[in-house]
Structure 1
């Protein structure tokens, strides 16, 4: 298992004792988004395996990859009030995140959804969102991606509400 940490965003938890096999999805994901959400929710509800790793960083989201194999990876992310991802996608990876502590908001170009502790969101490849902690308290979330992230694109929203790509990142950047 590879563990990487970077100040600014949390990472995934252990996969002890749980099968994650599923069906192949567009983008090469061996796990369908609902299965990824189930796995993220399981991990978020059992923080004893990863909570000791979490750090709160006033400079930006903290994150740590807690599991990676050929099929998927898991990250744990901590969020102080006001921290956000900015609009981004996950390249060819499907994904899901579940809130373990606190609450987050998921922003799409024309929609906002609150995600509270124990709740999860899942998505397919090329899904664009901005996840934010708009509450007054810290939050912690668990993220599962399949296949493991290889690229991400960052976006802005123009005056007409259209996404404009700003940058592209590869896994080596994290």
Structure 2
């Protein structure tokens, strides 16, 4: 399954190419019981790629990508992506989509989401962003309103 939101296909193609060739990864994925593990796979001009692992229950905060578009592929296991949905009364809620091994998600520069391993087995995913991530804003939903919780900067928080 591929879900697109009107962005260029090169991020998705790069994510698929990397996900399809784990023998070319410079590291073997590791699983950390205390936090999601990640390793940069690609750092080129205008694009970067990350390998991430997810134990059951591990998740991101609700976040954006600081103006970068991107794509990710679930290599193994399954991940749930939660995205924002506006209700008729103008409030915001989260909608969930299960992405199993082989599924891909492509998104634009204004995409806000949360990713969680809600399943019983570990998961591995490859994420590609362009341009390179410089910041990520973390959000929280309170009474149906999206509020900024923090802004993380590359080189400081990751």
Contact 1:41 1:119 in 2 (8 A): no
Which one of 52, 61, 68 corresponds to residue 36 of structure 2? 61
| Aligned residue number for residue 22 of structure 1 | none
* SS of aligned partner of 1:172: coil
TM-score, reference length from structure 2 = 0.85
Counterpart Cα distance in 1 of 2:27 and 2:44:
22
How many residues are aligned here?
142
Distance 2:17 2:102 in 1: 9
Structure 1 or 2: larger strand share? 2
Where does the alignment leave 5 or more consecutive residues of structure 2 unmatched?
A: 1-6, 85-93
- Runs (4+) of structure 1 exceeding 2 A deviation are 32-35
Query: Which of 58, 64, 85 does residue 60 from structure 2 map onto?
Result: 85
Structure 1 Cα separation of the partners of residues 83 and 152 of structure 2: 20
Take 2:149 and 2:67, find their aligned partners in 1: how far apart are those partners? 18
- Root-mean-square deviation (Å): 1.3
Gaps of 5+ in 1: 1-31
Deviation per residue, 1:66-95 (Å, 9 max, x gap): 210121001000000000011000011101
Which protein, 1 or 2, shows the higher relative CO under an 8 Å CA cutoff with sep ≥ 6?
Answer: 2
- Counterpart of 2:101 in structure 1 is 117
User: 1:12: which partner in 2?
Assistant: none
The superposition leaves residues 9-45 of structure 1 with CA deviations (integer Å, 9 ceiling, x where unpaired) of xxxxxxxxxxxxxxxxxxxxxxx44321222122212
Which residue of structure 2 aligns with residue 129 of structure 1? 113
